[in-house]
Amino acid sequence: MLTVALIYPFIKQDTRLALKQRWSRQLLTVLGISLKVGAGDTPRSKYPWGAANNAMASHPTGLLVANHISFLDIFVINAWAPAAFVSKDDVRGWPLVGWLSQHTDTIFMQRGSRRAAQATRDQLVSQLRAGQLVAVFPEGTTSDGHGVQAFHSALFQSAIDATAPVTPLALRYFDAHSHQPSHAADYVDDMTLVSCLWSIAASAGLIAQLEPLPAIAPDGLDRRHLAAHAHHAVAHRLMHMKSLRNQ
């Protein structure tokens, strides 16, 4: 909080992103979560922080879109490729988290207002055109990871307007010992942040597997088709992984 309040406003964007990445990696380490980035049908190989020859060394550009399971998803993505996130507007009022979000490049989206929606899209387009990486969870809510809910298409228009690539991300959590899917990090229904943290802390360790899928160029696509392509890519990959485990 002191760094964000006293130093963040006066440092370059690249330094801000590096700090955000470091904080995210530290949080995952404190919570006993290992990160695996890339393809693989079993999450046994984990990338060590700072390794120059792993997938973390190649950061994407444009718009990242991922399935949404937990509040941890933000830190998992930031640990790999720090980005500005789009968040619902009521997060502003959350204790501590709201203040930190406001001061660390979060783009807030107010619902129920066309004018506010247009302002959000304009901000997204501006950031994408400037070469900034932006991440969204187009399901609009979290799920238990069994499937991928429909992607809302509104925010995909910003990628079209900015002619920015869209990179789908398939995200899943595994038990670090059994290497079976884990629901310890699920942040669904009426679960509170405290109870979710307790569930993670009580687990024997987790592996977060983040798989970047081929980027989609928005050329010639409207926002609904672009959202559908991204949804299919994520859903197909997660379903493929599930079918392999059930064989």
What the block records as the tokens of 178 is 């059994």
3-class SS shares of the chain: helix, strand, coil, % to 5: 45, 15, 40
Return the pLDDT at 242: 63
CA distances to 64, 119, 122 from 223, in Å: 15, 17, 15
- Residue 43 contacts by C-beta under 8 Å, 6 or more apart in sequence? 36, 174, 179, 207, 209
Rounded-to-integer distance, Cα 47 and Cα 3, Å: 27
Rounded-to-integer distance, Cα 241 and Cα 36, Å: 15
pTM of the predicted model as reported, rounded to 2 decimal places: 0.87
CA distances to 88, 140, 168, 190, 244 from 40, in Å: 32, 27, 16, 33, 11
Largest CA distance in the chain: 54
Residue ranges of domains in the chain, CATH in brackets: 2-246 (3.40.1010.10)
Return the pLDDT at 128: 94
Count Cβ atoms within 10 A of the Cβ of residue 244 and give its class: 0-12 exposed, 13-18 middle, 19 or more buried: exposed
Return the pLDDT at 244: 52
Return the pLDDT at 55: 43
Q: Are 218 and 153 in contact (CB under 8 A)?
A: no
Q: Strand, coil or helix: what is 46?
A: coil
Q: What is the mean pLDDT of each run of 10 residues along the chain (247 residues)?
A: 85 89 92 85 45 49 94 93 87 76 81 76 91 92 83 93 96 90 86 86 90 94 96 90 56
Q: Are 28 and 71 in contact (CB under 8 A)?
A: no
Q: Strand, coil or helix: what is 179?
A: coil
Return the pLDDT at 50: 43
Q: Is 189 left (phi over 0), alpha (psi -120 to 50) or beta?
A: left
Rounded-to-integer distance, Cα 22 and Cα 138, Å: 26
